[in-house]
Structure 1
């Protein structure tokens, strides 16, 4: 297959991943604001989409980390990157369908690393950079955000315990809108750049950009638009899990969780660390729940979420490795990977229509099922 055609296919696939990243991660910024009623669902996702687009133009440090840091760009080809992207998209769609807030970032890294490893060997993966920029932050960031969210929530209840019942929620809801807006902006500065980095890496590997180049303007614009469109559609299944499925969220907890996550994400973007915004926001929400007097945490849901965090890198890596091997075999292999990926995406979409989650029922409270019993939500049985 002609290199320019393959590069075009990779760019389109990268933007599709960026789109899935948008609706997969909308929950990170807006789940708590929707759960507490600070913002109406459709207003929340529209605001988040606009600010994700703006955030995409504020920094390119994370993009440089991906395009010139995690793998040896001289050892891979556009076909390998294509395979890695398909692996990441498959994992994103699967976890979205089951409503698990796994990391789109780690799905991308896992897919890329898996495809690179099988195509060029383990030497093509820069494990030291992977540990420094991905693995260590993956462990530390949710703990830091969770601790900050817990302390902030505890202080919020202490400070406002004598305030009138009518003024306290309103003040925190205003704060939630502000912190959710900042969180969406921070998400754009971090996650949109990952797609920019992948496209830039592809162009470097194809020889259309010199080594160590930053993303061109058209790459920045297209990545920002793609993630904004995905965000606007709203990842309602994951919004429900984060907003209602982990712990009881009120305005004080929502504000504390969002403010803590925003601080962590903006710091990581400035340092060029490709952080998982999902891990940070989920950690902040869990911490906010634990900081609440008489906290109620659904540990079953939290446990499944953490399990998804652990297996995302290897699962996406395996999918990326399989797709990469097939795509690297030639034109026919690339077509096979594309057809299988499209079929998988279509199948997930068709199955999701059997149990629609949208703006109309996103605040129904999911209850952990007991074997043999019908599951009830605040909107009725399922």
Structure 2
């Protein structure tokens, strides 16, 4: 532990803070549809999701290795660059949470790291071929695959049960959702907790505490799992509302289909080392489930805002990471402390703004006003 300097310690603490925001930002991925259909009560849902995120963190480390030795050159990376990248990711997560937008925590992290390393080490510090192979291609393909799978599953679910009583069908699929949502939570822990493990491992490699190409130590796996599980239990209610009620008028067969499709895509990709976005996969599954039953059920305005957030997440976080890296690399310890304080101040402001329009377990299933179609809103007001 002699290699762990003040800056490396700051990186570890900041990485775990990011992991916490990742947890509450992405709770919706696993539990939004189950909460929306009534398959699980809100507080029970986040408790189950948090516990399974912790278990999932121990299932694989392939994604962690992709981050610690894949997208950036660990021989050129310094702890200061990693710290700056994490700042970019955290601030983007908090901003999109405030807006209730289910953007990608993963791409926020990748963008922050890429921007910080590019500024700190130059273009050679980023393996852009790996960025394309392991991040960009999966980012495009995974929500499409999940959406098509959910579309087909939804169509079959309604076709096979069309003669059964609706109440019986709903009860059956709600029971199935408990299992499918739990599997998404397990997959989320397997995929997303590893990203923080990879960042901490990269910091330990950069300071000489671990050898080149080393995997995450047990204490890193445990702390990353605990951080994401705690964040998940807190519950990102604003985003849960958007994904559960703001995108599709979802029923239990659709929820089961969306969750099952997302689980298959996430677990397969995690074992292949593809650091994909669970948010995009789960959103793709929900959209596919909406289209599979009835095209008009999808609120395309909300879907469009989500897609825009997906497009700008990586470059926006990269810009913040790059700006932070400039201050940290050239300002040393003082620059690091100033950036940390500035980020903390922004976080406090965002949390304060969120209290003006609170979303919690009691009102999470109310439909967001902005997501209601204008014609439907006018009819309701009349």
Q: Is the shorter-chain TM-score for this pair beyond 0.5, marking a shared fold?
A: yes
Equivalent-residue separation in structure 2 for 1:223 and 1:146 (angstroms): 29
Equivalent-residue separation in structure 1 for 2:334 and 2:152 (angstroms): 56
How far has the Cα of 1:243 moved from its partner? 0.3
| Structure 1 equivalent of residue 156 of structure 2 | 155
Residue correspondences, number? 377
Q: Does residue 1:336 correspond to 2:350, yes or no?
A: no
How far has the Cα of 1:327 moved from its partner? 1.0
Query: SS in structure 2 opposite 1:76?
Result: coil
Pairing partner for 2:370 from 368, 371, 377: 368
Equivalent-residue separation in structure 2 for 1:51 and 1:29 (angstroms): 10
Matches of residues 123-202 of structure 1 in structure 2 within 5 Å? 123-202=124-203
Query: SS in structure 2 opposite 1:223?
Result: helix
Query: Using a 3 Å threshold, how does the CA distance of structure 1 residues 154 and 222 change in structure 2: closer, same or farther?
Result: same
Q: Are the aligned partners of 1:54 and 1:188 in contact in 2 as well (CA < 8 Å)?
A: yes
Q: Are the aligned partners of 2:247 and 2:371 in contact in 1 as well (CA < 8 Å)?
A: no
| Structure 1 equivalent of residue 260 of structure 2 | 259
Equivalent-residue separation in structure 2 for 1:175 and 1:188 (angstroms): 20
Equivalent-residue separation in structure 2 for 1:184 and 1:61 (angstroms): 18
Moved over 2 A (4+): 367-373
| Structure 1 equivalent of residue 350 of structure 2 | 348
Query: SS in structure 2 opposite 1:211?
Result: coil
How far has the Cα of 1:367 moved from its partner? 3.2
| Structure 1 equivalent of residue 46 of structure 2 | 45
Query: SS in structure 2 opposite 1:200?
Result: helix
Over aligned residues, Cα RMSD in angstroms? 1.9
Greater helix share, structure number: 2
Q: Are the aligned partners of 1:290 and 1:297 in contact in 2 as well (CA < 8 Å)?
A: yes
Q: Are the aligned partners of 1:93 and 1:345 in contact in 2 as well (CA < 8 Å)?
A: yes
What TM-score do the two structures reach when normalised by structure 1?
A: 0.96
Matches of residues 66-81 of structure 1 in structure 2 within 5 Å? 66-81=67-82
After superposition, the C-alpha distances for 1:293-326 in whole angstroms (9 at most, x for unaligned) are: 3641111110000000000000000000001111
Matches of residues 81-120 of structure 1 in structure 2 within 5 Å? 81-120=82-121
How far has the Cα of 1:245 moved from its partner? 0.6
Equivalent-residue separation in structure 2 for 1:60 and 1:259 (angstroms): 22
Equivalent-residue separation in structure 1 for 2:266 and 2:372 (angstroms): 37
Q: Are the aligned partners of 1:81 and 1:115 in contact in 2 as well (CA < 8 Å)?
A: yes
Q: Are the aligned partners of 2:187 and 2:266 in contact in 1 as well (CA < 8 Å)?
A: yes
Q: Does residue 1:25 correspond to 2:55, yes or no?
A: no
Q: Are the aligned partners of 2:24 and 2:233 in contact in 1 as well (CA < 8 Å)?
A: yes
Q: Are the aligned partners of 1:246 and 1:286 in contact in 2 as well (CA < 8 Å)?
A: yes
Equivalent-residue separation in structure 2 for 1:356 and 1:308 (angstroms): 22
Equivalent-residue separation in structure 1 for 2:23 and 2:245 (angstroms): 20
Query: Using a 3 Å threshold, how does the CA distance of structure 1 residues 369 and 215 change in structure 2: closer, same or farther?
Result: closer
Q: Does residue 1:322 correspond to 2:323, yes or no?
A: yes
What TM-score do the two structures reach when normalised by structure 2?
A: 0.96
| Structure 1 equivalent of residue 283 of structure 2 | 282
Equivalent-residue separation in structure 1 for 2:166 and 2:339 (angstroms): 57
Equivalent-residue separation in structure 1 for 2:272 and 2:53 (angstroms): 19
Structure 1: unaligned runs, 5 residues or longer: none
Equivalent-residue separation in structure 2 for 1:325 and 1:55 (angstroms): 36
Equivalent-residue separation in structure 2 for 1:301 and 1:159 (angstroms): 30
How far has the Cα of 1:3 moved from its partner? 6.0
Equivalent-residue separation in structure 2 for 1:323 and 1:177 (angstroms): 42
